Amino acid sequence: MAMTKPEQAGLGDELFGTRLGEVRNGKAGPEKGQFIPPPDVRDSDERADALPEQEEFWRAPVRFGSVPVESTPLGWDRRRGFRKLYPQVMLPTQVVERVSFGHPELEPNRLFWGDNLHVMRQLPSESIDLIYIDPPFFSGKQYNVIFGDQNELRSFTDIWDGGMPGYLVWLNARLYEMKRLLRKSGTICVHLDWHASNYVKIEMDKLFGYQMFRNEIVWDYGAKATQHKGHFQRKHDVLLVYGRSEQSKFKPVLVEYSTATLRERDTRYNHADEDGPYRMTTRRAPDGSKYRAKVYLKEGVYATDVWRIPIINATSKERIGYPTQKPEALIQRVIEAFTEEGGIVADFFGGGGTTLVAAQRLGRRWIACDQSRVAVAITADRLANLVDQMALEQSGKSFTVPDFIVEHWGIYEAKRLSEAPQDQFRAFVLRAFGAVIEEHDEGIHGYKGAIPIWVGEPDQKKAVTAADVQAFANAVRKTLRYKQDNLRDGIMLAWAFRPDAVEAAERLRRLERTDLNFVRLDMIRIDSARFREHVSALSTQNADYENFLTFVQPPKMEVGFKRISSRSYKFDVSETLVLNPGAKIINVQWDFDYGKRFSSTPGYSFVRGSNKEPELQSEYEFPTNGKKRIACKVQDDMGGEGLWTAEIEVI
Ligand SMILES: C[S@@+](CC[C@H](N)C(=O)[O-])C[C@H]1O[C@@H](n2cnc3c(N)ncnc32)[C@H](O)[C@@H]1O
């Protein structure tokens, strides 16, 4: 039925049969026994016709009377978009690990450690089929600190300052990038709960277009309700689904029959042939005649937008042990509905990697990101374990899983960088410094604007010498800009400069007063504040940026162990030295059967004591005696990660 506004249909002031203020027979309102005619429905319908369709209500007008209606998402600047509040920082990613499953010819899946906004800004447009995210719900500070990393803690200022609008601005900037990354046929699914879902829906209407809204899926997580004061207990989450365009893909998903339908199935589908159980029904042909037809039993019923899937609780088999872990079945259903086999699934708030596990099982490619180093470590470990398990399930049958790479954005491992091949190291340093690689002038590695740049050795122990300075000065003198434009500067980037190198540069500069042969060389250490000036300048606008382009050291691993009984050992990492100032250990993982790659023994990752602190000691009973290879990984809360391996004789 068409909606009518009271004042238009004239009902609001005629609810009691008289116009308000009208006095009949000296009395307000109807008299006893008086007949009150029903409102003229024809009349009100006609007037309702003048009202716009519901869709028109939905479309936000520019003004509502004298009040301007915001049609752009919160935080959007007309000229600079979200880059006004969150300036762009282009930094390289550092590949720290390639977890191999034996198919180096295939393009690897990608797991990023870093702030998703900046990671996404470096990914190509229209490259992803489905984005599922489960961001912090705006439900309380403590609840949202899951892994305890410094980066996780830091980002909360950004999320929580400014209350709900602040949260929406923070999320909008990210949703905007996600829209850019989605293929036209793609879909986004944002997992939230009652705290923010209604506010985010309005922002998503503005970002994606209200016409692109597909579903509000209610995840009824089936947890037992307890008595609650003041309102019903809240036991569901909400998944907001938007298509990227009209072309977004969807495939209905069949779910298992409920018990009631199963009963029905038993009695009605009482025939069977090679195609399965069926029942007979009567159909009408186009000529009006009737005929009998078989109706086969579907493998389930079509899922609606209310999904009852049990939450991960203390006894769930798939439980990893961190709060907010979502069930694989939930995300699996999302992936099945909105992607095809081989499609690319992304989760930029990856947590412990549930989305990737579901994607891997369903044969999809994936890409993920988390700002917590521990989350990334847990995810990598979980994926390696999953592929081992899939191999067992396939029992020898060939199956193909692409490798995955772990990439760091913004915070880098100095030690690993110093072990990189020279060309990779150079490329990394130039990119981080905002320079480009250009090697057409001998002895010059790149340019920042017009200034020639030289990059030192990857090895941190190899400091720059006076001879290096001299050689670079000669290279600068050979450039056209030196000869024609009289431009005489250059920049040397390195881990360290020897005193004789500093002296040599001074000498070259002093020539400025006496000799036209001078060159002005600037020496910048890679781990210094000057190196990261183009990033730190942005920190005044956004505290989050303070940490970008910094380096971390792995912990110095010390592992002790002793035999406590037959095949049982106690391991201890408490003597491990954390090298990043102010950092502490936040996670320990053990692999008591270390093979080609690290994959923690079940129950030996993210173990917390009663005080919620990580367990630094662990006991393990080996199944058999003999030589065993074991490994231990430790992460600190700044992002440093150490690996220790050993071979022990178990008796
Ligand atoms: C609710 S958890 C996701 C849980 C996940 N769905 C699962 O089942 O394991 C949210 C995650 O988002 C991460 N996160 C929050 N802000 C982020 C940001 N700006 N960039 C990347 N990750 C972020 C947190 O570290 C946390 O791991």
* Domains held by the chain: number: 5
Query: Which of 496, 531, 566 represents a domain boundary (last residue)?
Result: 531
Q: Give the residue among 486, 411, 347, 527 at the shortest CA–CA distance from 154.
A: 411
Distance CA 630, CA 557 (A): 14
> What are the phi and psi torsion angles at 113 (to 5°)?
-105, 120
Q: What is the atom index within ligand 1 of the atom nearest the CA of 152? A: 25
pLDDT tens per residue, range 592-606: 999 888 999 989 998
Distance 520 CA to ligand 1 centre (A): 47
List Cα–Cα distances, 531 to 22, 121, 492, 522, 550, in angstroms: 81, 22, 11, 11, 10
Question: What is the pairing mode between strands 489-494 and 451-455?
Answer: parallel
The predicted pLDDT at position 1 comes to 37
Share of the chain above pLDDT 90, in %: 64
User: Other C-beta atoms within 10 Å of 122: how many?
Assistant: 16
Query: Which of 501, 531, 561 represents a domain boundary (last residue)?
Result: 531
Distance 196 CA to ligand 1 centre (A): 16
Distance 146 CA to ligand 1 centre (A): 8
Residue 369 CB–ligand 1 contact under 6 Å: yes
Q: Is the domain of 560 the same as that of 515? A: no
The predicted pLDDT at position 16 comes to 37
Q: Is the domain of 291 the same as that of 311? A: no
Q: Quick one: CA dihedral 382, 383, 386, 392, positive or negative?
A: negative
The predicted pLDDT at position 70 comes to 80
Q: What is the atom index within ligand 1 of the atom nearest the CA of 326? A: 8
pLDDT tens per residue, range 142-179: 556 677 777 776 666 667 777 899 999 999 999 999 99
The predicted pLDDT at position 19 comes to 41
Q: Is the domain of 189 the same as that of 335? A: yes
Residue 544 CB–ligand 1 contact under 6 Å: no
Distance 110 CA to ligand 1 centre (A): 16
Q: What is the atom index within ligand 1 of the atom nearest the CA of 151? A: 25
Question: 480: pLDDT confidence band, cut at 50, 70 and 90?
Answer: confident
267-280 mean pLDDT: 85
Distance 337 CA to ligand 1 centre (A): 23
Burial 321-330 (b: 16+ CB within 10 A, else e): ebebbbbbeb
Residue labelled with tokens 């430790």? 634
Distance 192 CA to ligand 1 centre (A): 12
320 or 171, higher pLDDT: 171
Q: Give the residue among 116, 117, 119 at the shortest CA–CA distance from 94.
A: 119
Assigned domain for 575 exists: yes
Residue 89 CB–ligand 1 contact under 6 Å: no
Assigned domain for 422 exists: no
Residue 23 has pLDDT above 60, yes or no: no
Residue 535 CB–ligand 1 contact under 6 Å: no
Average pLDDT, the chain: 87
Residue 352 CB–ligand 1 contact under 6 Å: yes
User: CB burial class (10 A; 0-12, 13-18, 19+) of residue 343?
Assistant: buried
Question: 558: pLDDT confidence band, cut at 50, 70 and 90?
Answer: very high
User: Other C-beta atoms within 10 Å of 83: how many?
Assistant: 12
Give, in degrees to the nearest 5, the angle at Cα 136 between 130 and 139. Answer: 140
Distance 349 CA to ligand 1 centre (A): 4
Assigned domain for 582 exists: yes
Q: Give the residue among 521, 511, 509, 634 at the shortest CA–CA distance from 584.
A: 634
The predicted pLDDT at position 13 comes to 36
Q: Give the residue among 194, 142, 23 at the shortest CA–CA distance from 612.
A: 142
Assigned domain for 557 exists: yes
Residue labelled with tokens 């990210």? 174
Assigned domain for 78 exists: no
Q: Is the domain of 595 the same as that of 506? A: no
CA 530 from centre of chain: 31
Q: Give the residue among 472, 452, 456, 474 at the shortest CA–CA distance from 464.
A: 456
Residue 116 CB–ligand 1 contact under 6 Å: yes
Q: Is the domain of 352 the same as that of 296? A: no
Task: Tell me the best of 370, 408, 635 to mutate to test the pocket of ligand 1, counting ligand atoms within 8 Å of each CB and taking the most.
Answer: 370
Distance 158 CA to ligand 1 centre (A): 14
With helix as H, strand as E and coil as C, how does 234-275 read?
CCEEEEEEEECCCCCCCCCCEECCCHHHHHHHHHHCCEEECC
Query: Which amino acid type is present at position 454?
Result: W
Q: What is the atom index within ligand 1 of the atom nearest the CA of 158? A: 19
Distance CA 8, CA 50 (A): 10
Assigned domain for 81 exists: no
Q: What is the atom index within ligand 1 of the atom nearest the CA of 351? A: 27
Distance 338 CA to ligand 1 centre (A): 22
> What are the phi and psi torsion angles at 46 (to 5°)?
-60, -45
Q: Is the domain of 282 the same as that of 372? A: no
Residue 155 CB–ligand 1 contact under 6 Å: yes
Share of the chain above pLDDT 70, in %: 87
Residue 326 CB–ligand 1 contact under 6 Å: yes
List Cα–Cα distances, 394 to 255, 364, 383, 388, 389, in angstroms: 24, 17, 16, 10, 9
Query: Which of 267, 283, 301 represents a domain boundary (last residue)?
Result: 301
Distance 147 CA to ligand 1 centre (A): 10
With helix as H, strand as E and coil as C, how does 133-144 read?
ECCCCCCCHHHH
Distance 169 CA to ligand 1 centre (A): 17
Residue labelled with tokens 């020639």? 452
Residue 36 has pLDDT above 60, yes or no: no
Distance 32 CA to ligand 1 centre (A): 67
Q: What is the atom index within ligand 1 of the atom nearest the CA of 144? A: 1
Residue 245 CB–ligand 1 contact under 6 Å: no
Q: Give the residue among 461, 522, 532, 460 at the shortest CA–CA distance from 493.
A: 522
Residue 151 CB–ligand 1 contact under 6 Å: no
Distance 144 CA to ligand 1 centre (A): 9
Distance 372 CA to ligand 1 centre (A): 8
CA 285 from centre of chain: 53
Residue 5 has pLDDT above 60, yes or no: no
Q: Is the domain of 340 the same as that of 201? A: yes
Question: 494: pLDDT confidence band, cut at 50, 70 and 90?
Answer: very high
pLDDT tens per residue, range 323-354: 789 999 999 999 999 999 999 999 999 999 99
Residue 21 has pLDDT above 70, yes or no: no
Distance 370 CA to ligand 1 centre (A): 6
Q: Is the domain of 142 the same as that of 232? A: yes
Assigned domain for 84 exists: no
3-state secondary structure of 608: strand
Distance 50 CA to ligand 1 centre (A): 48
The predicted pLDDT at position 184 comes to 97
Strand segments (E) across 592-640: 617-621, 626-636
pLDDT tens per residue, range 102-136: 999 999 999 999 999 999 999 999 999 999 999 98
Q: Give the residue among 428, 511, 503, 500 at the shortest CA–CA distance from 476.
A: 511
Q: Is the domain of 159 the same as that of 243? A: yes
Distance 135 CA to ligand 1 centre (A): 6
CA 556 from centre of chain: 30
Strand segments (E) across 134-194: 182-192
Residue 636, domain extent: 553-650
29 or 224, higher pLDDT: 224
Domain containing 382 — which CATH number?
3.40.50.150
Domain containing 459 — which CATH number?
3.30.750
Residue 327 CB–ligand 1 contact under 6 Å: no
Residue 28 tokens, joined:
């307000």
Q: Give the residue among 129, 147, 210, 208 at the shortest CA–CA distance from 172.
A: 208
Query: Which stretch of DSSP H or E encloses residue 581?
Result: none
Residue 402 CB–ligand 1 contact under 6 Å: no
Distance 132 CA to ligand 1 centre (A): 11
Distance CA 445, CA 300 (A): 63
Q: Are 161 and 219 in contact (CB under 8 A)?
A: no
Question: What is the pairing mode between strands 67-68 and 63-64?
Answer: antiparallel
Q: What is the atom index within ligand 1 of the atom nearest the CA of 320? A: 9
The predicted pLDDT at position 238 comes to 98
Residue 489 has pLDDT above 60, yes or no: yes
Residue 152 CB–ligand 1 contact under 6 Å: yes
307-325 mean pLDDT: 88
Residue 627 has pLDDT above 70, yes or no: yes
Residue 410 CB–ligand 1 contact under 6 Å: no
Q: In sequence order, what DSSP letters do the residues of 110-127 get, joined into one string?
A: EEEES-HHHHHHTSPSS-
**CA-proximal residue: ligand 1, atom 27 (nearest):** 351
Q: Are 361 and 354 in contact (CB under 8 A)?
A: no
Residue 134 CB–ligand 1 contact under 6 Å: yes
Distance CA 129, CA 335 (A): 10
23-30 mean pLDDT: 49
Q: Is the domain of 311 the same as that of 230? A: yes
110 DSSP β-pair partners: 367, 405
Residue 144 CB–ligand 1 contact under 6 Å: no
Of the listed ranges 251-265, 551-565, 586-600, 603-617, the one predicted with least confidence: 251-265
Q: Is the domain of 387 the same as that of 289? A: no
**CA-proximal residue: ligand 1, atom 3 (nearest):** 351
User: Other C-beta atoms within 10 Å of 561: how many?
Assistant: 17
Q: Give the residue among 11, 75, 84, 49 at the shortest CA–CA distance from 541.
A: 84
Q: Give the residue among 265, 239, 251 at the shortest CA–CA distance from 132.
A: 239
Give, in degrees to the nearest 5, the angle at Cα 623 between 618 and 626. Answer: 100
pLDDT tens per residue, range 458-479: 999 999 999 999 999 999 988 8
pLDDT tens per residue, range 391-428: 888 887 778 999 999 999 999 999 999 999 999 999 99
Query: Which stretch of DSSP H or E encloses residue 404?
Result: strand 404-409
Residue 115 CB–ligand 1 contact under 6 Å: yes
The predicted pLDDT at position 15 comes to 41
State the pTM of this model.
0.86
Q: Is the domain of 270 the same as that of 242? A: no
Assigned domain for 637 exists: yes
Residue 332 tokens, joined:
């699996």
